Amino acid sequence: MKKEALEVLKNRRSIRKFKPDQVTKEELRTVLEAGTYAPTAAGTQAPVIVAVQNPDTVAKLDSMNAQVLNSPKMPHPYYGAPTILVVLAPKDGYAPVQDASLVAGNLMNAAYAAGLGSCWIHRGKEMFESEDGKALLRQWGLSDNLLGVATIALGYPEGAHPDAAPRKNGYIVEID
């Protein structure tokens, strides 16, 4: 394994504070391209990645996620990120959750490699099962047969990069 790839995998962390500066189109395209190279079941390339940089739509997604979360302690679950990536997959696909999760992993690792920060934000399924979510899918020209698997906060990290926690005992079991 190339050392640089291993370092990305070992050092990427979830970022929960972002600068307000928008991610450049060039950086965004680099991250998105990496997402398209994730493995998918039977090579179907079934997931769909929606990159949202429009401030009104980012605010709408933030509000939708907060509504599902329903926690006054976290009114802005995307931590002020200026870009949100939405990873969807056909509900009737062969392995929609697995495929879209692998895409999300590629997106987050590529973001770190490009000097960006990211954080997987849960509740995508509930967001896109809602009437507001279905309306957004239609607005984006997408089928409402898509399952919301991952939403990702993306931007320039504000502050120091978090250190990795020590790896837990028993994480790996080897059978010879």
Tens-digit pLDDT profile for residues 95-128: 999 999 999 999 999 999 999 999 999 999 999 9
Q: How confident is the model at residue 48 (pLDDT cuts 50, 70, 90)?
A: very high
The pLDDT of residue 46: 98
More confident call, 151 vs 73: 151
Instruction: Please name the residue that has the structure tokens 């050392």.
Output: 3
In this structure, the chain runs to a length of 176
The pLDDT of residue 72: 85
Q: Hey, how many other C-beta atoms are within 10 angstroms of the C-beta on 86?
A: 28
- Span of 70-79, 105-114, 117-126, 140-149 with lowest mean pLDDT: 70-79
Considering the chain, what percentage of its residues have pLDDT values greater than 90?
A: 94
Q: What average pLDDT does range 25-34 have in this prediction?
A: 99
Q: What is the pTM of this model?
A: 0.96
Least Cα distance to 19 among 109, 116, 102 occurs for 116
Provide the b/e sequence for 33-65 (b: ≥16 CB within 10 Å).
Answer: ebbeebebeeeeebbbbbbbeeeebbebbbebb
Where in the chain are the domains? 18-155
Q: How confident is the model at residue 172 (pLDDT cuts 50, 70, 90)?
A: very high
Fold type of domain 18-155: NADH Oxidase (3.40.109)
Q: What's the mean per-residue pLDDT of the chain?
A: 97
Q: Hey, how many other C-beta atoms are within 10 angstroms of the C-beta on 129?
A: 14
Is the per-residue pLDDT at 74 higher than 90?
Answer: no
The pLDDT of residue 1: 63
Q: Hey, how many other C-beta atoms are within 10 angstroms of the C-beta on 127?
A: 20
Least Cα distance to 106 among 45, 171, 26 occurs for 45
Q: For 26, how many CA atoms within 13 A lie in the half-sphere containing its CB?
A: 2
